[in-house]
Amino acid sequence: MSSSFNTPSRRKPLFPGPSTTPAGPPPSHLSFTQVSTTPAGPPPKSSFFSSHNAANNTFGSRRGAAGATPAHRGRGFVVPSSSPPGIDEDDEDEEEEEEEDEEMEVVIEEKCAFMSSILSAPRGLKRSRNGAVREQVGSDYASIARSVTSHAPSTTGLTEPDEMLLQQETILARLESSKNTGEASEALTRLWAQYSDPTTREGKLGPEAEDGVSKAVYLASLLLQLHHPHLQQQPSKPQPRKKNENETTTLPRALLNWLDEHHTPFPDEFPAISTASPSPAAHDRFWDTIYASLVRGRFSQAIDLLRHAGWENAYTAEEDSQEEGYTEKQLDNIEEVAERAARLLESCPVITGGDGDWDIKGPAWTVFRLRVRRAVRELEEFAGSSGEEDGEEGVGSGKRRNVFSLSAATKKAESRVPWSVYTNLKLCYDILLGRAEEIVDASQDWLEASIYITAWWDGEDTSPSLSSRSTLGESRSGLRKSITASQAREVDLSPLAAYRRRLGDAFTFVTDTEEALFLPETVEGVQVGLGCVLTGGVGSVVQLLRGWSLPVAVAVVEVGATAGWLPGGEGGLGGGWSGMDLMVLSHNGPAGGVEGLEKEGVRDEVLGEYAELLAAKDVLRVGQVGGGVGGTEREGWELAVAVLGRMDDQSEGERRVGELLGGIEVLGDSGRVDRILEACGGLGLEGRGRGVAERFADSLLASPDTAEVMRNVGTALMYLSRARCGEKISETLGLLVALCLIHSAAYPAREEMDGRLAGLVGKERSTLVELARKDGEAAELLASRLSGYATLRRFYELRDQDVLPDLGNGQKLRPLERAREAAGALMAVLGSASDCIRGGLYDPEAEGVVPVDCVLVLLGEALVLLGQGKRVFSKEQVLGMMRVVEDFETVTSRVRENGGGLLDASLASYRESGDGGGMGRMGKSGSGFGGSSWDMLAESTMVVASAEGMGKVERGWDWRRGVDELGVEAGAKEVVAMVRVALAREVARGWGGGLNW
Burial 258-289 (b: 16+ CB within 10 A, else e): bbbbbbebeebbbeebbebeebbbbbbbbbbb
Question: Which amino acid, one-letter code, is at 185?
Answer: S
The phi-psi region of residue 963 (left if phi > 0; otherwise alpha if psi is between -120 and 50; otherwise beta) is: alpha
Nearest alpha carbon to residue 843 among 835, 832, 854, 853 = 835
Burial 371-405 (b: 16+ CB within 10 A, else e): ebbebbebbbbbbbbeeeeeeebebeeeeebebee
Rounded distance, CA 113 to CA 140, Å? 25
Question: Which amino acid, one-letter code, is at 240?
Answer: P
Rounded distance, CA 941 to CA 759, Å? 23
813 burial via Cβ count (<10 Å: 0-12, 13-18, 19+) = middle
Q: Which residues pair with 200 in a beta bridge?
A: 207
Rounded distance, CA 864 to CA 573, Å? 82
Segments in the chain below pLDDT 70: 1-139, 141-142, 145-156, 233-247, 353-355, 385-414, 462-487, 516, 568-600, 624-631, 805-811, 914-935, 937-951, 967-968
Nearest alpha carbon to residue 742 among 897, 586, 595, 939 = 939
CA dihedral 647, 650, 653, 654 (to 10 degrees): 150
Nearest alpha carbon to residue 411 among 389, 381, 375, 390 = 381
For CA atoms 573, 576, 582, 588, the dihedral sign is negative
Rounded distance, CA 360 to CA 428, Å? 17
Rounded distance, CA 34 to CA 74, Å? 7
Burial 139-176 (b: 16+ CB within 10 A, else e): bbbbebbbebbeebeebeebebebbbbbbbbebbeebb
> Could you give the 3-state DSSP secondary structure of residue 633?
strand
For CA atoms 759, 760, 763, 766, the dihedral sign is positive
Report pLDDT digits (tens) over 828-844.
Answer: 999 999 999 999 999 98
Rounded distance, CA 673 to CA 688, Å? 11
Rounded distance, CA 771 to CA 776, Å? 7
Rounded distance, CA 774 to CA 732, Å? 22
Question: What are the C-alpha distances in Å from 352 to residues 344, 662, 671?
Answer: 11, 63, 59
Rg (CA), the chain: 46
- 831: phi then psi, degrees, rounded to nearest 5: -65, -40
Look at strands 619-622 and 133-134 and give their pairing. unpaired
Query: Can you give the pLDDT at residue 738?
Result: 93
Q: Do residues 760 and 732 lie in contact, with contact meaning Cβ atoms separated by under 8 Å?
A: no
Please name the residues in contact with 475: beta carbons below 8 A apart, sequence gap of 6 or more.
1, 373, 464
Residue 278: asked if its preceding bond is cis (omega within 30°), the reply is: yes
Q: Name the pTM for this structure.
A: 0.69
Please name the residues in contact with 575: beta carbons below 8 A apart, sequence gap of 6 or more.
142, 532, 536, 537, 538, 539, 540, 541, 542, 567
Report which secondary-structure segment, H or E, holds 635: strand 632-635
Nearest alpha carbon to residue 902 among 866, 865, 863, 930 = 930
